[in-house]
Structure 1
Amino acid sequence: MELQLELSLSTRPGPNVSLACNSKDGYVVGWPPVRWWRKQLWHRNRRGGGRAANSLYVKVKMEGVGITRKIDLRLHRSHRSLANSLIALFQKGEENVGYKVMYQNKEGEWLQAEDVTWECFIKSVRRLKLEKNGILS
């Protein structure tokens, strides 16, 4: 068994870089592919409004609860389903108290979620807030 060790010295400052060309793809393989890939991924995600194109996770805050949580809107198909899930998430289903779901749109305005269609809501929501609506009779 023969062991070969190669050592190359460079007069340039910085790390020694070896590049190889993959002939079938024509891509250069070497340093820094991981760094380049991360930059491309970050820029691609930033174009989508700060979140990935298929991500529908939004932050949720409930009035009277100090913890903010995240919820995936892809799991819901209606405002009612979302509201029920949020109440269960925060475990705050108080007797005779109604809740309304408020959302922050792209412009930063807080609006009531049920005032718009589900499709418009999904496209413009950035943050959610669950507020007490008052005493129900």
Structure 2
Amino acid sequence: FQSKPTILVKVSMDGAPYLRKIDLNLYKCYNELLNALEDMFNFKIGKETGNKDGTEYETTYEDKDGDWMLVGDVPWEMFTTSCKRLRIIK
């Protein structure tokens, strides 16, 4: 049994007064990650829920080059190796 190294990234959310850190290796796909973020910050991703109250959130990440991208734009394996931080924006 060989454990994967941890990939700790900071997570911030617009309007939240604190940051969190998560280990990307705890998740196997985007759905698992997004569900964990929803539980952690108590929000729903707007596109999936179709909220009519205007509380739509997008999850973005900063890659190794310093560019901000939408979560889900690249294959999961590429995301886990290039993600430096996550930000949930309104």
Between the two proteins, the alignment pairs up a number of residues equal to 80
TM-score by length of 1: 0.53
Deviation per residue, 1:62-117 (Å, 9 max, x gap): 11112000011111111121111111101234872443221100111110111100
SS of the aligned residue for 1:101 comes to strand
Matches within 5 A, 1:1-40: none
Q: Give the conservation status (yes or no) of the 8 Å contact 1:83–1:100.
A: no
- Give the greater-gyration-radius structure (CA): 1
Higher RCO structure, 1 or 2 (CA under 8 Å, sep 6+) = 2
4+ runs deviating over 2 angstroms: 92-95, 97-100
Structure 2 unmatched ranges of 5 or more: none
Residue 100 of structure 1: aligned partner: 58
Matches within 5 A, 1:48-87: 54-87=5-38
Q: Percent identity?
A: 38
Structure 1 unmatched ranges of 5 or more: 1-52, 133-137
